[in-house]
Chains A and B, each alone.
Chain A
Amino acid sequence: MTEEIIIAGFGGQGVLSMGKILAYSGIMQDQEVAWMPSYGPEMRGGTANVTVILSDERISSPILTQYDTAIVLNQQSLDKFESRVKPGGVLIYDPNGITHEPTRKDINIYKVEGTRLAAEAGNPKIFNMIILGGFLKVKPIVKLENVEKGLQKSLPARHHKMIPMNIEAIQTGMNHVEVVNQL
C-alpha cells in the first residue's frame, strides 16, 4: 500500500501539523513515511502545502505531480490541485470560502465543513483535526489508535491533555463527510 497525499490551504490552518500527525500515525504502524513541506517566504495567511506519503515499501520521490488524495482548504488550493488528483482518486475540501466548486467526474469528491464545525464547537484550533477525521473516514489508512499514539509522540508532554479533544474532533469529522461525487 502506498498513499500519496497533498494537503493544501492557508498558512495558520494547521496544514503542516495535520501532515505531521498523519506521518507519525504511519510510523506507529511501521510504515515508511515522508513529509515534504512547501517552504519559502511564507507567512500566516499565505498559502502552505505539504506532501505526505505513507507506504509499506521504501518511498521514492517526495516530489509528485499526481496524488491519490488531495485535501484542499481554500480556493487557490482547489484550483491548483483538483486537476492533480489521479483518476479514481479522492478530493476532500472544506466549502468555506469556495466560490467555484470542483467539477471533475472521474474522482471521488467529499465535502467536510471543518470551518463551520470548529466554529460551532467554539474552538477554531480543532479545524485541521476535523478535516483529518473526514479523510480517515474516506480512507482509513491509519487506525485511530495509531493517530492517538502519533499525537502522544509528536506533541510535547505539556500538551498531552489536549489529545482527547483532538480525537473527539477527528470523530466529529468522521461523522460529517458529505458525498459530492462518488464513482
Chain B
Amino acid sequence: MKGGAGGRRLVLAIVLVLTLFVVIAPVSVVLVEGLSRGVGAFFGALGEEDTLAAIRLSIVTALVVVPINTLFGIAAAWSIAKFTFPGRKLLLSVIELPFSVSPIVAGIAYLFVYGGQGLLGPFLEEHDIKIMFALPGIILASTFVTAPFVARELIPLMQLQGNDDEEAAATLGARGFQIFRRVTLPNIRWGLVYGIILCNARVLGEFGAVSIVSGTIRGETNTLPLQIELLYHDYNTAGAFAAASVLTLVALLTLAAKVALEAKVGRGQAGR
C-alpha cells in the first residue's frame, strides 16, 4: 500500500476534498456570514443587550459547571483507575452514559425531577426555589451532558501510569492529598487541562438539553446557542451568524489549545 504513489495521491486528494466540503466549509460559512456585513455590524449585533446577556449567562454556566465536573472527574478517575471494587465497570458505563444519551433525553429527564409536576416540583415550589426555567436548571442540564469529559481523559492516563509512584509516596508516609498534588497531578496535568478545555467547549455549546429546561426568557435564560436559534427565528440572520461566529472562534481556540497541549506533552515525553 505504501508503494503506490498514485494510490497515495488519490487517497490524499479524496481526504482533502472531503474535509474541505464536510468540515471546513460549514465553519467558514459561519465566519463569512457573520462578518459579511462588516466588522462594525458584527460588533453591533454582538453588543445587543440580549445577546450580551446570553454570552454572560453562558460564561456563568461554564464557570459553575466546569469546576464541578473537574472535581467529579478527578474523583471518578481516582477511584476507577487506582482501585478495583465490585461494580467498577458498571460505574464506568454509568459515567459514560451522558456521551451516548441524546441531550433531549437528558433535558426531559431533568424536567421530571425538578419541573412543577416533577418529583421535587411541589417541594421546590413550596420553598420558592427556582430550578427549572432558571439558571440552576441550565447548570444541572449542562452538568449532565458534560459529566464524562474530564473523567474520560483522566482514567486511561491514570491507568497507564499505574500506581507505583503513588504507592512509593504512601510508603514514605505521604498523606492522601499530598500524594495527589505532588505525585499524581504532575503526571496527569495536561490530560486534565485537555479534559477541562473540552468540557468547557461543550458547556458553552450545549443546545438540546438546555433548550428543554431554559424557558427561553430573552436576556435572562437564553444561553448563547439558544440565543442563536432565537435570532434566527427573529429574522435576524446577521445577528444569529455573528453570535455563532463567537462560538466558532471559541471552538477554534479550543483546538489551538489542544494542539499546543499536545506539542507540550510530546516534548515532555521526548525529554523524559
Mutual binders A and B: no
Residues of chain A having any CB pair with chain B under 8 Å: none
Residues of chain B having any CB pair with chain A under 8 Å: none
